[in-house]
Amino acid sequence: MNTYIIRRLLQVIPVLFIASLITFSLIHLVPGDPVAMMLGDDATPEDIAHLRRTMGLDRPLPLQYVEWVGGLLRGDFGRSIRDNREVLPTILRRIPASFELSLVSFILSLSIAIPIGIFSAVRQNTPFDHFGRVFALFGLCVPNFWMGLMLIYLVGFLWGILPMYGRVGPVLWTWEGFKHAILPAITLGTAGATLTMRLLRSGMLEVLRQDYIRTARSKGLGERVVVYKHALRNGMLSVVTVVGLSVGQLLGGSVIVETIFSWPGVGRLVFERFINRDVPMVLGALMFFGLVFCLNVVLVDIIYAFLDPRIRYD
């Protein structure tokens, strides 16, 4: 098991290396001058040249790349050109708020997706299953920013049930704080929830067709035991992957959701800095998200290997 973990961690390195090349070349090699974009229309050529020099953009690209990656490896993600603060601490400071939101969203979406997923598979082609399919289709097609606005309008304004935006204190400990997290968490979690539901449903249908399920039924076990003890364990395997991978979706979705709901997390920070063309911040945030995503994939693989011994010995 340990060798497996180490091997998986080592495999992250080339992926991150390529991701860093992609990030760097997209920002530096695409047509258009990021420095001129940053300074706006009324910048003089001298201003542009000056900023180029300060940012080190006048040096050869390979050198710039090596220095940038060297910095990343030492944990130095560079300095923002907007407030001259270091990029990494700025991001890390915003993590708790985003983490809280993701956690609430995770719990809400799983507690909806898992029961619906199981029941639609067990009661295939019943009205319940059709309802599940409609729900899945809805989550696949609804634009999350629009859904967030509609929730604010309906639940927050028209019915006045929940607060419309903002974050109050530490979410998980106070009722007031938790209430503020519900609408953004629903908006953030819908896409992932419906995906989890769909995959759990097809995973369960697959498992329920297996021979050992028929054996379990034929030796007279109750339906409840067959479904929950025999089928669910294997059906859940597919969910582990999806849930893990939907962390990427949460990170991406957080940009939009946190912006709409004025939630002071990483997503909103990233968006604010992106529209201000804070290039070091853009690069740093991309690599940070990339790292989080990769570690998460490894974590999922480890959990998967833990649950399914067949993987470990491959």
Chain residues that interact with another protein, rule: CB under 8 A? 14-19, 21-23, 26-27, 30-32, 34, 37, 137, 140-146, 149-150, 152-153, 156-158, 164, 198-199, 202, 205-206, 248-253, 255-256, 259, 270-271, 274-275, 277, 279, 282, 285-286, 289-290, 293-294
How far apart are CB 18 and another protein at their closest, in Å?
3
Whole-number Å distance between alpha carbons of 45 and 229: 71
**Cα 301 from Cα 4, distance rounded (Å):** 10
Q: How far apart are CA 102 and CA 111, in angstroms?
A: 14
Closest to another protein by CB, 12 or 303: 12
Smaller CB distance to another protein: residue 108 or 136?
A: 136
Residue 156 DSSP label: I
DSSP tag of 79: B
Compare residues 73 and 158 and give the one whose CB is closer to another protein: 158
Cβ atoms within 10 Å, residue 35: 20
End-to-end CA distance of the chain: 11
Minimum separation from the CB atom of position 5 to another protein (A):
19
Question: What minimum distance in Å lies between the beta carbon of 97 and another protein?
Answer: 17
Query: CA–CA separation, 63 vs 61, rounded Å?
Result: 5
Contact predicate 120/129, CB 8 Å? yes
Give me the least distance between CB of 130 and another protein, in Å please: 11
Q: Which is nearer to another protein, 100 or 278 (CB)?
A: 278
Which contacts qualify for 169-178: CB closer than 8 Å, 24 or more apart? 170/100, 171/100, 171/101, 171/104, 172/100, 172/103, 172/104, 178/104
Q: For Cα atoms 226, 203, 191, give the angle at the middle one, nearest 5 degrees.
A: 125
Residue 215 one-letter amino acid: T
Nearer to another protein, 221 or 245 (CB): 245
Q: In whole angstroms, what is the distance from residue 97 CA to residue 169 CA?
A: 9
Shortest distance, position 198 Cβ to another protein, whole Å: 6
Decide whether 178 or 274 has the Cβ nearer to another protein. Answer: 274
Output 205 or 221, the one with its CB closest to another protein: 205
Minimum Å distance from CB 219 to another protein?
A: 27
Work out how close the CB of 267 gets to another protein at its nearest, in angstroms, rounded to a whole number. Answer: 9
